[in-house]
Structure 1
């Protein structure tokens, strides 16, 4: 019975290669635990450790993708660049403190970074990225927008 349940939950990941909600949640927990010194800020050292753990765990959750040393280093480079873009006050930290009305800057960062890293390992593994709409580094002249930002309505 347990084997059947495991098969039912893992079959969509194995066959389709997409990220199911449970797997994505497990990966997100890595980010929530990234604040190792418990100061409620994410710094660059903690970010590097998070990316390392996250990238090494991906092949165990998403079938058919690999996380080579080059993929991990590429993930660290992308995460550093994205971190710099999210660090508005340039203090080298992102706050985990949010409110009922808005998510913390660290949470907004993680929502974007997790998708970027998942797309990266898919592209390296010659698979279709599960989040094609997420490309914070697009330089094709189109307006870049955060995945959490609703599109603007022009009149």
Structure 2
């Protein structure tokens, strides 16, 4: 950004908005990078995280699908018990999505409700318990002391933090 004119810098700042740039203005240290340099660095770092974030999303989505398969069988999107466990908005999304796709593998990427909110909204404690245990059990098992504490923490998290049944 150092070889831009002050007018170029102002045009870019105006295009990005004063509200957006104010955070970076506050972070500028005398003699350090400019707010625009910090903004560009933040964009670069954010871009570098997109690939790993994408992979993380797929792994989590597949882990949720595996947990749902454990509880509701392979064709869980068509399982009436699973459908009944969902609030109406999520049920509508599930029905619309499964009507567009012939199999579970095609349904998964189109559903938007694989999130922590789903757990607390639907009361699917059993499903998330299986998911959390499967995902984290190997980490907890590495250390026998941590394993016991981890299991207790997992149950506390599910019961009191995020998966309280409705």
Q: TM-score, normalised by structure 1?
A: 0.31
Q: Choose between structure 1 and 2 for higher RCO, CA contacts under 8 A separated by at least 6 residues.
A: 1
Q: TM-score, normalised by structure 2?
A: 0.30
Computing the radius of gyration over CA atoms, which structure comes out larger, 1 or 2? 2
